[in-house]
Amino acid sequence: MEVSVIVNGTGRSADVEPRTLLVHYLRDDLGLTGTNIGCDTSSCGACTVLVDGRSAKSCTLLAAQVDGAEVTTIEGLATADGLHPMQQAFHECHALQCGYCTPGMVMAAVSLVDEYDDLDAAGVRVGLEGNLCRCTGYQNIVRAVLAASE
Amino acid sequence: MIPAAVDYVRADSAEAAIAALVEHGDEAKLLAGGQSLVPLMRLRLATPTVLVDVGRATDLVGISVEGDTVSIGALTTHSTLEHSAELAAACPLLAHVASLVGDPAVRHRGTLGGSLAHADPASDLPAAVLALGGTLVVAGPGGTREVAATDFFTGFLESVLAVDEVLTEVRVPVSTGGWSYQKFNRRAQDWAIVGVVVAEGGAGVSLVNMASTPIRATAVEAALAGGASATDAAASAADGTEPPTDNQADGPYREHLARVLTARALTAAGI
């Protein structure tokens, strides 16, 4: 089936099997490999992208479900002027160790600060509960999200 | 893992979904937000041959309050429930429970109707609707019927929904009496090992993950109605339950949790 999505502002289309997960559509059909696959249980959040502006786990959606939607991946955050403020905050706060969870963390964090007002450290921790960092580098991740939310 | 091969039909209204279900029979499975079904398909625990994607049926989205009834379209997301000022005023318990489902990404996609139709005894929202004494509106080829939440769940992941029926709306009474939801788990974003919902000053008490379906804690409700203290009522929280044993907890531990969490919930609800 033909699935058309506006990815990072550009209309993209691919002929895929109905069972194709969004994350495989992004990585294998569109070549956007910034979105990682970390688990098989919808637990880790490494594959988090924005669908119509809100975080979603791209391993837990069929590509067919977002036909016609707007999807933003980590590749779509930075502009010609530089990094997205959340990316910049992750950079400045050293909010990563191995970096594997980082694309999903950043996308979830962008959605989180847009969705919830007046986030504090506890709110960021709860809000990022769907994103796991196996380096356990949460301290600086929370610091970065708070910095970017100001 | 990748789901097994499946055919896909998009149905953008309840009517179109029913027609597709009639056409494909029990080989078909309704797909709403997919936050329970897609993981099961990925693990190949669910292998439908036809998916009927009703996820963009806008006629099944929305929250309205009329008189003493809150009507919620089945495809209303957990996130919408969580942030609805109207629901927070009319039925704060339901808004709060919705805010504790999974994680934000799950709540953006998962739907109230999907959660109820999935009928997982470990899920939060089925127990909440049960404690509130909700009514489920079910549409099929022969018309529409209303099912009390107490009659809806028939077994583990099973409900009274026929293969050609669609859950279209969930109705709960306006309820601002004392309420609480106590959800106990050990890992972030996980299902409750045990959960306890108290609604409307103790008129409704229900248990998460204490049987093969979400269940009302009828012994607690009866004790409260008879004038028992919260502590005494909570002591009967595990009566009549059949808690599962799994790698997180065994039955006796769940019974203990049910009693402790019920006491906490009743206290938090001001009882």
pLDDT score for B188: 83
Q: Is B100 contained in some domain?
A: yes
Q: Is B105 contained in some domain?
A: yes
pLDDT of B97 above 90: yes
Q: Which residues pair with B208 in a beta bridge?
A: B195
* CATH, residue A27: 3.10.20.30
Residues B169 and B196 in one domain: no
Domain count along chain B: 3
Mean pLDDT for chain B overall: 97
* Structure tokens given for A31: 């070549």
Residues B62 and B41 in one domain: no
Residues A9 and A45 in one domain: yes
Q: Which amino acid is at B104?
A: P
Parent domain of A117: 85-149
Per-residue pLDDT band for B137 (boundaries 50, 70, 90) equals: very high
pLDDT score for A40: 83
pLDDT score for B52: 98
Is B6 within 8 Å of A18 when comparing Cβ atoms? yes
Cα distances (angstroms) measured from residue A12 to each of A5, A68, A69, B32, B111: 5, 10, 11, 24, 27
* The 3-state secondary structure of chain B, one letter per residue: CCCCCCEEEECCCHHHHHHHHHHHHHHEEEECCCCCHHHHHHCCCCCCCEEEECCCCHHHCCEEEECCEEEEECCCEHHHHHHCHHHHHHCHHHHHHHCCCCCHHHHHHCEHHHHHHHCCCCCHHHHHHHHCCCEEEEEECCEEEEEEHHHHEEECCEECCCCCCEEEEEEEECCCCCCEEEEECCCCCCCCCEEEEEEHHHCEEEEECCCCCCEECHHHHHHHHCCCCHHHHHCCCCCCCCCCCCCCCCHHHHHHHHHHHHHHHHHHCCC
Q: Is B1 contained in some domain?
A: no
pLDDT score for A59: 98
Q: What is the pLDDT of residues B26-84, one digit of tens each?
A: 899 999 999 999 999 999 999 999 999 999 999 999 999 999 999 999 999 999 999 99
Residues A63 and A117 in one domain: no
Question: φ and ψ at B232, to 5 degrees?
Answer: -70, -40
Cα distances (angstroms) measured from residue B133 to each of B173, B201, B206, B216: 7, 13, 10, 10
Domain count along chain A: 2
Lowest mean pLDDT among A3-17, B93-107, B179-193, B222-236: B179-193
* CATH, residue B108: 3.30.465.10
pTM (2 decimals)?
0.97
Domain boundary among B173, B194, B215: B173
How high is the mean pLDDT in each 10-residue block of chain A (150 residues)?
97 97 97 95 96 98 98 97 98 96 98 96 97 95 96
Residues B39 and B107 in one domain: no
Smallest CA–CA distance, residue A92 to chain B, in Å, is: 25
Q: Residues A93-96: contacts with CB within 8 Å, 24+ apart?
A: A93/A140, A93/A141, A93/A143, A93/A144, A93/A147, A94/A140, A95/A137, A95/A140, A95/A141, A95/A143, A95/A144, A95/A145, A96/A135, A96/A137, A96/A140, A96/A141
Q: What is the dihedral of CA B214, B216, B220, B222, to 10 degrees?
A: -170
CA-wise closest residue to A93 among A8, A39, A150 = A150
Domain boundary among B140, B173, B206: B173
Report the half-sphere exposure of A65 (CA within 13 A, side-chain side): 29
The 3-state DSSP class for residue A133 equals: coil
Domain boundary among A28, A56, A76: A76
Smallest CA–CA distance, residue A2 to chain B, in Å, is: 12
Q: What count of residues does chain B have?
A: 271
Name the closest residue on chain B to residue A17, using Cα atoms: B5
Residues A109 and A51 in one domain: no
Q: Is B2 contained in some domain?
A: no
* CATH, residue B228: 3.30.390.50
Residues A93 and A45 in one domain: no
pLDDT score for B187: 84
Is B53 within 8 Å of A129 when comparing Cβ atoms? no
Residue B172's Cα: distance from chain center in Å? 12
Residues of A with CB under 8 A from a CB of B: 1, 17-21, 24, 40-43, 45, 48, 51, 54-57, 59-62, 64-65, 67, 108, 111-112, 115, 126-127, 129-131
The C-alpha atoms of residue B39 and residue A95 are separated, in whole angstroms, by: 29
Residues B97 and B168 in one domain: yes
Residues A21 and A45 in one domain: yes
Q: What is the mean pLDDT of residues B237-266?
A: 97
Residues of B with CB under 8 A from a CB of A: 1-8, 10, 31, 34-35, 38-39, 41-43, 51, 53, 55, 79, 83, 102-106, 108-109, 188-189
Is A55 within 8 Å of B41 when comparing Cβ atoms? no
Identify all chain A residues contacting B105, using CB atoms and an 8 Å cutoff: 45, 48, 55-57, 60, 108, 111, 130
Selected residue with higher pLDDT from B188 and A55: A55
CA B9, B12, B13, B14 dihedral sign is positive
Q: Is B188 contained in some domain?
A: yes
Contact status, residue A105 vs residue A45, Cβ threshold 8 Å: yes
Residues B155 and B70 in one domain: yes
* Structure tokens given for B176: 């601002």
Residues B20 and B66 in one domain: no
Name the closest residue on chain B to residue A124, using Cα atoms: B104
Residues B38 and B67 in one domain: no
Smallest CA–CA distance, residue B246 to chain A, in Å, is: 17
Count chain A–chain B contacts defined by CB atoms under 8 A: 92
Contact status, residue B218 vs residue B187, Cβ threshold 8 Å: no
Domain boundary among B138, B173, B208: B173
Parent domain of B243: 181-268
pLDDT of B216 above 90: yes
